[in-house]
């Protein structure tokens, strides 16, 4: 995340503390060296030298103590003031405005500016200039006291060395601090840009989700109609001949592929987690169940091999696992236009179940692998770009990870690692058959705003011996419920104008058998004993089975 103001202030304090510590250490070392150099000069007074440098070292100890208590500004002023006063004293007692003395004032200005700020440095520079001017006037008029010692090359070397070392420390620390601030600013800018990019990406995907959900809803309604028409035509298959049967097979295959695409769209348009409604499922059983679906989906030129390990149990919705495998199978089919072999396998260890989908297709170069999980990215003109993006989303929400190994001409291997579950596998109860005809009829209220879908549902129910009552929305449905007391069941869409399926459910009399259907969302309230949900596109078998379940007699309490 971008650096906040408090973080920047703390970083600045850390830099100042680091610089102050280095300067203090450097001045202590220079004071010791200066004392040794001055003692080696025979013309210097030893007592004056020891007193002078003793005061310097003691003052530096005070500065270090103040800085240790966090008073950086006060410590900086104490350090600069001590240095400035010492140099001012040197100009009076040791020979006026010699070059090395004047240079030390420049070090004081740099020191204070680095530790306190520019205004303090300007103020000290003006004071230093005024003092140097006063010393120059006094020296020129012969009003300075007699120097304690004549000019000495050793003293000049010591003063110059101290000046150069302190200047070098200041310059190095300032450049280092500048570099750190620049790096932090660059990192902060990158983090800010990444946060903005993610925000824009999130907003874009939110819009995409809404659009795709709407498309999937309408498309699922159309697929329901197409499927119902195909069923009606297949009932008359004896009069169609071989060509007609082949046409119906093509229609079924196209409907299956379109159903898979709409499920991908719905997955992106839905905000709920893929792990919602998870149960303990054996992945091997899921793959065996898909074995009947894959051959017509992949075509006769692709062979499917299975190598399934026992005990591959994960906590996940069965529908999510099926969608993951189907999308990987479709991706393999597109990678093997001339046919080939798809291998589905599972491996199990103490904590992980790994699902492997491996084909011997054309493979992918590294630049394509880097983008295959991006929504709507596809290298094929007819690809939707949603299959692998959906797989990645579902795997992530199930707490797993996916690894891809591919190269041009070497095929592709997807390995999906999911957390292993120690729970017992939930075996789905067998579907109930429709109950016998009830006395007085079996009236079913059909609440569906799409007229074509409503007509298909009515035709299915009528062919099964029900008496369907079709209405267009929840408001009309409530009127029917108030007027008719012998309804056997209500079949209601979720997304409808005026009053949607969730609100209708809340207003129905308690215990009313209800089958909820939708092509782009799921119920917001958990399902009860007399409530089932069937996703679109609908099939006659799935709808009638759900009605049978919600209208079946209740089991006596054990």
Are 10 and 44 within one domain?
Answer: yes
Are 456 and 407 within one domain?
Answer: no
Helix (H, G, I), strand (E, B) or coil at 229: helix
- Summarize pLDDT for 447-489 with one digit per residue, the tens: 998 888 888 899 889 888 899 999 988 899 998 888 887 888 9
Helix (H, G, I), strand (E, B) or coil at 402: strand
CB 140 within 8 A of CB 167: no
CA dist., res. 489 & res. 547, Å (int): 7
Which of 192, 207, 226 finishes a domain? 192
In a domain, 241, yes or no: no
Which of 192, 219, 252 finishes a domain? 192
Are 407 and 453 within one domain?
Answer: no
CB 382 within 8 A of CB 365: no
- Residue 93 token pair: 């007692």
Are 138 and 188 within one domain?
Answer: yes
pLDDT at 61: 79
**Band of pLDDT at residue 77, cut at 50, 70 and 90:** confident
pLDDT at 514: 92
In a domain, 480, yes or no: yes
Are 496 and 382 within one domain?
Answer: no
* C-alpha closest to that of 92 among 141, 130, 143: 143
Q: Kindly report the backbone phi and psi dihedral angles of residue 415, in degrees, each rounded to the nearest multiple of 5, phi listed first.
A: -120, 115
Assess whether pLDDT exceeds 60 at residue 149: no
**Band of pLDDT at residue 92, cut at 50, 70 and 90:** confident
Are 135 and 37 within one domain?
Answer: yes
Are 176 and 302 within one domain?
Answer: no
Average pLDDT, the chain: 75
pLDDT at 346: 92
Phi-psi bin for 117: left (phi > 0), alpha (psi -120 to 50), beta?
Answer: left
Are 404 and 538 within one domain?
Answer: no
In a domain, 328, yes or no: yes
CB 150 within 8 A of CB 43: yes
| Least confident window among 84-98, 224-238, 534-548 | 224-238
pLDDT at 348: 92
- Residue 406 token pair: 């591919």
pLDDT at 131: 86
Please write down the HEC assignment for all residues of 452-478.
HHHHHHHHHHHHCCCEEEEECCHHHHH
CA dist., res. 354 & res. 418, Å (int): 6
Q: What is the CATH number of the domain that holds 547?
A: 3.40.50.2300
- Residue 525 token pair: 């309230």
CA dist., res. 137 & res. 157, Å (int): 25
| Torsion (CA) 453, 458, 459, 462 in degrees, nearest 10 | 160
In a domain, 202, yes or no: no
In a domain, 433, yes or no: no
In a domain, 348, yes or no: yes
- Residue 385 token pair: 């770009």
In a domain, 274, yes or no: no
Assess whether pLDDT exceeds 60 at residue 381: no
CA dist., res. 319 & res. 274, Å (int): 9
H-helix or E-strand spanning residue 296: helix 294-298
Are 25 and 173 within one domain?
Answer: yes
Q: Sign (positive/negative) of CA torsion 205, 210, 211, 217?
A: positive
Q: Choose from 105-109, 342-346, 540-544 the range with maximum mean pLDDT.
A: 342-346
- Summarize pLDDT for 350-362 with one digit per residue, the tens: 899 999 999 998 8
State the residue range of the domain holding 301: 281-419
Which of 419, 454, 470 finishes a domain? 419
- Residue 281 token pair: 């499922």
- Which residues have CB under 8 Å from 337's CB, separation 6+? none
Are 61 and 117 within one domain?
Answer: yes
pLDDT at 417: 93
CA dist., res. 252 & res. 250, Å (int): 5
Mean pLDDT within 134-151: 74
In a domain, 38, yes or no: yes
Q: Is the pTM of this model over 0.75?
A: no
pLDDT at 432: 44
User: Radius of gyration of the chain from Cα atoms?
Assistant: 42
Are 465 and 412 within one domain?
Answer: no
- Summarize pLDDT for 59-71 with one digit per residue, the tens: 777 877 787 777 7
Our count of domains for the chain comes to: 3
Q: Kindly report the backbone phi and psi dihedral angles of residue 73, in degrees, each rounded to the nearest multiple of 5, phi listed first.
A: -65, -45
CA dist., res. 320 & res. 332, Å (int): 18
Assess whether pLDDT exceeds 60 at residue 497: yes
Q: What is the CATH number of the domain that holds 388?
A: 3.30.565.10
Are 369 and 453 within one domain?
Answer: no
pLDDT at 241: 63
């Amino acid at each position: 995340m971008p650096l906040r103001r408090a973080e920047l202030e703390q970083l600045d304090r850390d830099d100042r503390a680091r610089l102050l510590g280095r300067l203090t250490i450097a001045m202590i070392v220079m004071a010791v060296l200066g004392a040794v150099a001055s003692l080696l000069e025979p013309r210097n007074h030893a007592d004056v030298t020891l007193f002078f440098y003793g005061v310097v070292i003691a003052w530096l100890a005070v500065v270090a103590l103040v800085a240790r208590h966090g008073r950086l500004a006060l410590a900086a002023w104490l350090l600069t003031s001590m240095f400035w006063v010492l140099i001012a004293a040197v100009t009076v007692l040791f020979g006026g405005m010699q070059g090395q003395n004047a240079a030390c004032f420049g070090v004081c200005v740099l020191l204070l500016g680095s530790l306190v700020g520019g205004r303090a440095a300007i103020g000290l520079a003006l004071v230093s200039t005024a003092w140097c001017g006063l010393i120059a006037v006094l020296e020129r008029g012969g009003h300075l006291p007699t120097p304690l010692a004549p000019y000495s090359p050793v003293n000049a070397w010591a003063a110059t060395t101290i000046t150069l070392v302190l200047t070098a420390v200041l310059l190095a620390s300032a450049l280092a601090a500048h570099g750190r601030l620049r790096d932090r600013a660059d990192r902060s800018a990158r983090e800010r840009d990444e946060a903005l990019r993610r925000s824009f990406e999130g907003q874009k995907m939110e819009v995409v989700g809404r659009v795709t959900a709407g498309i999937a809803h309408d498309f699922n309604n159309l697929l329901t109609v197409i499927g119902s028409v195909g069923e009606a035509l297949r009932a008359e298959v004896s009069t169609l001949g071989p060509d007609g049967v082949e046409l119906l097979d093509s229609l079924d295959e196209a409907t299956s592929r379109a159903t898979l695409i709409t499920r991908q769209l719905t997955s992106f348009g839905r905000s709920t987690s893929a792990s919602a409604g998870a149960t303990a499922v054996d992945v091997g059983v899921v793959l065996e169940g898909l074995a009947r679906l894959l051959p017509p989906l992949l075509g006769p030129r692709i062979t499917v091999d299975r190598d399934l390990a026992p005990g591959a149990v994960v906590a996940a919705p069965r529908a999510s696992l099926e969608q993951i495998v189907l999308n990987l199978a479709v991706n393999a089919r597109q990678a093997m236009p001339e046919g080939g072999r798809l291998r589905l396998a599972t491996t199990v260890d103490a904590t992980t179940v790994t699902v492997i989908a491996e084909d011997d297709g054309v493979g992918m170069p590294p630049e394509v692998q880097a983008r295959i999980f991006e929504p709507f990215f596809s290298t094929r003109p007819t690809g939707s770009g949603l299959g692998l993006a959906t797989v990645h989303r579902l795997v992530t929400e199930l707490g797993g990870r996916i690894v891809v190994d591919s190269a041009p001409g070497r095929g592709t291997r997807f390995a999906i690692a999911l957390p292993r579950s120690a729970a017992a596998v939930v075996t789905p109860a067998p579907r109930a058959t429709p109950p016998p005809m009830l006395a007085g009829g079996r009236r079913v209220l059909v609440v569906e705003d799409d007229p074509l879908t409503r007509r298909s549902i009515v035709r299915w129910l009528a062919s099964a011996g029900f008496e369907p009552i079709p209405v267009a929305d929840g408001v009309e449905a409530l009127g029917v419920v108030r007027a008719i007391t012998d309804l056997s069941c209500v079949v209601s869409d979720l997304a409808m104008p005026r009053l949607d399926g969730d609100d209708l459910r809340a207003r129905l009399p308690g215990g009313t058998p209800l089958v909820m259907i939708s092509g782009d969302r799921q119920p917001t309230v958990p399902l009860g004993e007399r409530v089932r949900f069937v996703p679109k596109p609908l099939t006659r078998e799935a709808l009638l089975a759900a009605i049978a379940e919600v209208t079946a007699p209740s089991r006596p309490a054990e």
